[in-house]
Structure 1
Amino acid sequence: MKVGFIGLGNVGGKLAGSLLRNGIDVTVLDKKPELVAAFAKRGATPATDAAGLMRDCDVLITCLPSPAASSAVMAEMLPEIRPGKVWLEMSTTDDSEIRRLATLVEARGGTAVDCPVSGGCHRADTGNISIFAGCDRPTFERVLPLLKRLGRRILHTGPVGTASVLKVVTNYLATANLVSVCEALVTSKAAGMDMNTAYEAIKISSGTSFVHETEGQVILNGSRDISFTMDLVSKDIGLFQAIADRAGVPLEISPLLNEIFRDGQHRYGPRELSPNIIRRLEDATGLEIRAPGFPAEMVDDEPEEPGYEVVPTGIGRPAAAE
């Protein structure tokens, strides 16, 4: 099986690296030639355009920064889609847009799967990231062996579009937790707490979370580097708000989060690292939230393991997966 990969950024580059590490024949494309050249040195085949990549590959994966970018790439690839071709959309995107593009792919005899990832760049780098897959069950069974090479926990979410909805939901929750962690850390500092002790207290308590145990560390280090920026957070939580608006859900926290990150971009720039949203509170209080002994970036210390399908609680395992 020949796999094409478009988008070698912070997440995409690590996912493509997992394919190479696991012996998959990968051809890569990115708008930055230096990223393509780096992958070519690692054994990947460089591509010159999206249309040719779709023409030459059995499976084409995209991991791009916005729905607009995915749409533009699909416009190039679409004429080359034939029966048997599979498109895996691993970008965080709008569920209505992925459904629209999937319809175009299927009209030409191809197969579309929306399969965004979750768990952070450090887990994408080791192949331990989680993957949501939206498609029919036979398609899921077909792509599952490849997804097991890309990630560890693979969840079939239902039809195309469902994975993108759930990815946006989980990113919204992570953002809400990030803002609350920032408030908790700044308040602890203002109350005179030792920050190493405050971090540990939260970690061993009912207040702990994935965000606290990962992003909390790089916040206290001062690097704030999780390879994710404020503009991408704003995109994701904006997509979540749009889903709620379409469904008529009167959210209260979500509008405030959107305003907080709009303000963060205005103050510090759209490409500022997302954990630096804490600077709004540091600036307001004059406090510097730092502590010794924390890493500058997150590293996944779990060994890479073969991927497996996650079966939702209360739902029996599909017969085909027995």
Structure 2
Amino acid sequence: MTKIAFVGAGNMGGAVARRLATGDHDVHVFDLDPSAVERCVRAGATAAASAEAAVKDAAVVITSLPLPDHVRSVWADLAPRLTDGAIAVDVSTIDPATADALTEPLDETGHAFVHCALGKTPAAAEEGAIPLFVGGPAKAVKALRPLLDRMGDKTYDFGTPAAAAMFKLVSNMIGMTNVAVLAEGYALARRAGIEPDMFSEALRDTGAFSFQSDVRLPWIVAEDYAPRFGAALAAKDVRLAVDSAARWGIPTPVASQGLAQLVSAVAHGYGSEDVVAVHKLVAPAAETEERP
């Protein structure tokens, strides 16, 4: 059985590691949080004492880390330790510059680098019901196909790691900005006396309905801010997208305003809560004023 190393088992990474472990893959997991590793072990993975121990003799090494800086630092340490022919895979949300920075040095040491950004939510990842946005050498992507088929239900090949990374940022830029305006719309509807069930049902029959309306509006209505995708991570992703756009001379005024709202949520102490916590920024006035 082929050994797979998985470094980083947070909300999304842990879900993917467990998905692979339940598919008869030999998955060795390391994370700084022992409880995250234990959840993977219960799904059939093997705990690794360190990242170095995880990657030893692994044919595929996968990282899932919070920030591009973490990704660069971890791969700088792991690259010299990879076994001959091992494929390097990152499923973190990173910027194109980071993807490019990883591609060349890994290639120089004989290791193909594939970026595989993940769509949707951790709950969907547990079921393998997520889209995968992949970029890397065709031969490596083909070799990874059995793993990709287990991880997700559809794979989009963008050719290069940088293109795959950028698409994920664009997706999150649009999606997280949508969450911010969805929260504002819901607050306005409540101020007008529209009941939550009516708002949700009627919105479904309009052009305003979206994936965020389907998945996150119920959480906003229930004031359920449990962290699935934290506001701080959402702010990070939109910042990376806006920053990349600025470097390329592409204006993003709407996304920039969405980023400001996400940063405000973090500044108010909601960074570790789900991104729907942006609702708290607009809900107090809307809920306490007398409705017509």
The TM-score, its normalising length taken from structure 2, stands at 0.94
Kindly report which structure 2 residues correspond to 1:33-48, keeping only aligned pairs within 5 A, or say none. Answer: 33-48=34-49
User: Could you tell me how far apart the structure 1 residues matched to 2:288 and 2:132 are?
Assistant: 38
Q: In the alignment, which residue of structure 2 is the partner of 1:280?
A: 281
* Partner of residue 188, structure 1: 189
Q: What is the match of residue 60 of structure 1?
A: 61
CA change 1:38–1:206 in 2 (3 A) is closer
Give the alignment of 1:170-319 within 5 angstroms.
170-225=171-226, 227-287=228-288
Q: Higher mean Cα deviation, 75-84 or 160-169? A: 75-84
Shift of 1:182: 0.8
State whether residues 174 and 211 of structure 1, in contact with CA within 8 Å, keep that contact through their aligned partners in structure 2: yes
State the shift of 1:21 in Å: 1.6
The alpha-carbon deviation at position 4 of structure 1 amounts to 0.8
Deviation of 1:172 after TM superposition, in Å, equals 0.5
User: C-alpha deviations, 1:20-70, integer Å up to 9, x for none?
Assistant: 121111111000122223333432111122223222210011111111111
Q: Measure, in 1, the Cα distance between the counterparts of 2:43 and 2:192.
A: 50
Range with greater deviation from structure 2 (132-141 or 146-155): 132-141
Question: Which secondary structure does the structure 2 equivalent of 1:225 belong to?
Answer: coil
Q: Contact between 1:59 and 1:87, CA under 8 Å: does it hold in 2?
A: yes
Deviates more, 1:111-120 or 1:76-85: 76-85
CA shift, 1:226, in A, is: 5.2
The 8 Å contact of residues 174 and 255 in structure 2, kept in 1 or not, is answered as no
Deviation, 1:82, is 4.4
Task: Give the deviation of 1:114 after TM superposition.
Answer: 0.5
Matched, 1:137 2:138: yes
The answer to whether the 8 Å contact 1:133/1:154 transfers is: yes
CA distance in 2 between counterparts of 1:12 and 1:74 reads 16
After the TM superposition, which residues 16-55 of structure 1 pair with which residues of structure 2 at under 5 Å, given as runs?
Answer: 16-55=17-56
Question: Residue 28 of structure 2 aligns to a residue in which SS?
Answer: strand
1:152-167 to structure 2, matched below 5 A, reads 152-167=153-168
The CA distance in 2 between the partners of 1:279 and 1:42, in whole Å, is: 36
Aligned 8 A contact 2:21 2:45 in 1: yes
- Is there any run of 5+ residues in structure 1 with no aligned partner, and where? 289-322
In the comparison of the two structures, how many residue pairs are matched?
288
Give the gaps of 5 or more residues in structure 2: none
Structure 1 residue ranges (4+ consecutive) displaced by more than 3 angstroms after TM superposition: none
Alignment match, 1:117 = 118
**C-alpha spacing 1:202/1:118, structure 2 compared with 1 (3 Å):** same
Matched residue SS, 1:116: strand
Q: Deviations over 1:178-229 (max 9, x none)?
A: 0121111111111111210110111122221000000001111221335111
User: Are the equivalent residues in 2 in contact too, given 1:215–1:224 (CA < 8 A)?
Assistant: no
Alpha-carbon offset, residue 111 of structure 1:
1.0
Q: Percent identity?
A: 26
Q: 1:102 to 1:31 in 2, by over 3 A?
A: same
